[in-house]
């Protein structure tokens, strides 16, 4: 498994009430080189049959980056505490605020961000 790096050409849109995913692959050559190297190492370790299959558009996993986090409102949607730059009463704590998942399941990172943001809200907005 490798990381599909952020690509500004990828889009999620609505068309006739349906969510449309237009994902542009990135880092594909590096992925193929990694798969080949892994196969070579497994063959050397006496695994004669090694199968691999890339995910296709039907199996996007760990989508991130649609509402990126950052300090600059021109290049991000939420601040470091997951608060919207444009709508001060809106907080987003899901994987969309992460620029990338680093090729792993981001669930624990998302949980940590949610706890951090909730603590920030409790300490600054609800106190």
pLDDT tens, per residue, the chain with 127 residues? 777 777 778 787 899 999 888 877 778 898 899 999 999 999 999 998 888 887 776 666 777 878 889 999 998 999 999 999 999 889 998 998 988 777 788 899 999 999 999 999 999 875 5
Cα-flanking dihedrals φ and ψ of residue 96, to 5°?
Answer: -65, -25
Q: What is the pLDDT of residue 57?
A: 66
Choice among 31, 62, 85, 120 that is catalytic: 62
DSSP state letters, 62-117? S---TT-B-S-TTT-SB-TTSBBSS-TT-B--SGGGSS--TTS--HHHHHHHHHHH
How far is C-alpha 22 from the geometric centre of its chain's CA atoms?
15
120 is catalytic: no
Of 75, 54, 66, the closest CA to residue 11 belongs to 66
Q: What is the pLDDT of residue 118?
A: 92
Q: What is the pLDDT of residue 59?
A: 67
Q: What is the pLDDT of residue 47?
A: 93
Q: What is the pLDDT of residue 9?
A: 80
Q: What is the pLDDT of residue 115?
A: 95
Copy the structure tokens of residue 100. Answer: 């990338």
Residue 2 exposed, middle or buried by CB count within 10 Å (0-12, 13-18, 19+): middle
């Amino acid at each position: 498994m490798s990381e599909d790096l952020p690509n500004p050409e990828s889009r999620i849109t609505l068309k006739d009430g349906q969510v449309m995913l237009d994902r542009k692959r990135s880092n594909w050559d590096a992925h193929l080189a990694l798969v080949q190297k892994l196969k070579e190492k497994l063959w050397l370790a006496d695994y004669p049959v090694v199968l691999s299959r890339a995910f296709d558009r039907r199996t996007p996993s760990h989508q991130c980056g649609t509402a990126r986090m950052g300090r600059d409102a021109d290049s991000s949607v939420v601040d470091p505490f997951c608060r919207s730059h444009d709508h001060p009463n809106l907080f987003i704590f899901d994987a969309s605020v992460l620029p990338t998942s680093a090729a792993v399941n981001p669930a624990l990172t998302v949980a940590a961000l949610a706890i951090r943001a909730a603590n920030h809200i409790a300490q600054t907005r609800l106190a």
